Amino acid sequence: MQKPKVLVTRRWPAAVEAQLSERFDTVLNTGDKPLNEIEIRDALRSFDAVLPTVTDTVSAKALDVSQPQARILANYGVGYSHIDMERVADHGMMVTNTPDVLSECTADIAMTLLLMVARRAGEGERELRAGQWTGWRPTHLVGTKVSGKTLGVVGFGRIGQEMARRAHHGFGMKIIVQNRSRVPPDVLAKFNAVQVDSLEDLMPQCDFISLHCPGGPANRNLINTRMMNLMKPDAFLINTARGEVIDELALSRALMFETIGGAALDVFDGEPRINPDLLQCDNLVMLPHLGSATREAREAMGFRVVDNLTDFFEGRDPRDRVS
Ligand code: DGY
């Protein structure tokens, strides 16, 4: 029997690429260059499965194909706001993702960002590397204590819960949750957390706010000027979710005029392009989308895609089906 034809849009960990190549008629992107919408459209015409990542815009334009050969988009990553799910549904294609296996590592990066911005670690590193450190002094780069403070977690899925676990059990932080659906009381109890009904309730109560909600049109600019104005003037905003969730122009203003304490971002609207205004802000820590960037998570994500594809082509319902 002929093996299904599969396109991997970026370089993946070697062990995963090897397993994919054993099981499927696999084409690898050896140059690791992101595909444009036209190339994605061509791939949908000629492969049985396309394996996109966050760098692939599977837009209405890319999906403007009358008879796609592809029957499944097996996404490498948990977030899939780069895929136009309505158009995918019009074609009757399935979409799968890779939840669970990156939750701990992504929460580690969120906690790293929280600590870095609170303790001014980015500023300190920049100063030292620039040869500008003049030595210890009592008033030098004085930051904010983290232990015992209040953390707002926006979106209480797997990653949000891992963040709450680290903050509550590691740093004794009080946890306030905002989530689109009711969180079961036994889940909240694990972190001694309280759930509030709205962002308007959450923002003014927190010393740190960490975003863990999905991206996409519904959450674009969720954190805008109005929301930032509700924050305490010394509170910090952390984003490891998706760039579009924050209005970056509003954020750069809030940081420049110091109406909030600071921010720390792992994701950007339109990344890898960075809004130049953000680059001017000292009270901002920035990482290049490293949330799931550990050997362990990246391999586990890949093997999860292999499992999803194997299930699909052997006639079973993949465990990570999202549509
Ligand atoms: C994810 O898994 O969503 C990461 O952000 C990479 O896409």
**194-215 pLDDT, tens digit each:** 999 999 999 999 999 999 999 9
- Atom 3 in ligand 1: which residue has the minimum CA distance? 79
Question: Given this model, what pLDDT does residue 267 score?
Answer: 98
My answer on whether 82 and 200 are in the same domain is: no
Tell me the CA–centroid distance for residue 139 and ligand 1, in Å: 39
**157-183 pLDDT, tens digit each:** 999 999 999 999 999 999 999 999 999
| Joined tokens for residue 278 | 């953000």
ipTM of the prediction: 0.96
Question: 302 in ligand 1 pocket by Cβ < 6 Å?
Answer: no
In terms of residue numbers, what domain contains 262? 103-286
CA distance 318 to 124: 47
Tell me the CA–centroid distance for residue 52 and ligand 1, in Å: 11
Question: 102 in ligand 1 pocket by Cβ < 6 Å?
Answer: yes
Question: Given this model, what pLDDT does residue 163 score?
Answer: 99
My answer on whether 209 and 305 are in the same domain is: no
- Counting other chains too, the contacts that 58-63 makes at CB distance below 8 Å and 24 or more residues apart are 58/82, 58/83, 58/84, 58/88, 59/84, 59/87, 60/84, 60/87, 61/37, 62/37, 62/38, 63/87, 63/88, 63/90, 63/91
Strand 236-239 versus strand 208-211 pairing type: parallel
Q: Which residues are catalytic?
A: 242, 271, 289
Q: Which atom of ligand 1 is nearest to the CA of 54?
A: 7
Closest CA to 98 of 258, 313, 321: 321
Contact 254, 281 (CB under 8 A): no
Question: Given this model, what pLDDT does residue 320 score?
Answer: 98
Inside any domain, residue 142: yes
My answer on whether 115 and 261 are in the same domain is: yes
Residue type, 245: V
Inside any domain, residue 36: yes
My answer on whether 189 and 275 are in the same domain is: yes
Tell me the CA–centroid distance for residue 238 and ligand 1, in Å: 16
Question: Given this model, what pLDDT does residue 1 score?
Answer: 81
Inside any domain, residue 178: yes
- Which domain CATH number covers 57? 3.40.50.720
Question: Given this model, what pLDDT does residue 98 score?
Answer: 98
Question: Given this model, what pLDDT does residue 160 score?
Answer: 99
Phi and psi at residue 219, to the nearest 5°:
-110, 10
122 SS3 class: helix
Please identify every stretch of the chain with a pLDDT value under 50, giving residue numbers as ranges: none
Q: In what order do the strands lie in the sheet with 5-8?
A: 25-27, 5-8, 49-51, 72-74, 94-96
Instruction: Report the sign of the C-alpha dihedral through residues 239, 101, 202, 221, in that order.
Output: positive
Question: 75 in ligand 1 pocket by Cβ < 6 Å?
Answer: no
CA distance 57 to 80: 10
My answer on whether 234 and 130 are in the same domain is: yes
DSSP state of 58: B
85 SS3 class: helix
My answer on whether 59 and 169 are in the same domain is: no
Question: 122 in ligand 1 pocket by Cβ < 6 Å?
Answer: no
My answer on whether 239 and 184 are in the same domain is: yes
Structural domain total, the chain: 2
My answer on whether 90 and 117 are in the same domain is: no
| Joined tokens for residue 95 | 């979409």
Cα 24 versus chain centre, distance? 29
CA distance 127 to 282: 11
My answer on whether 41 and 136 are in the same domain is: no
Q: Where are the beta strands (DSSP E) in 122-186?
A: 150-154, 174-178
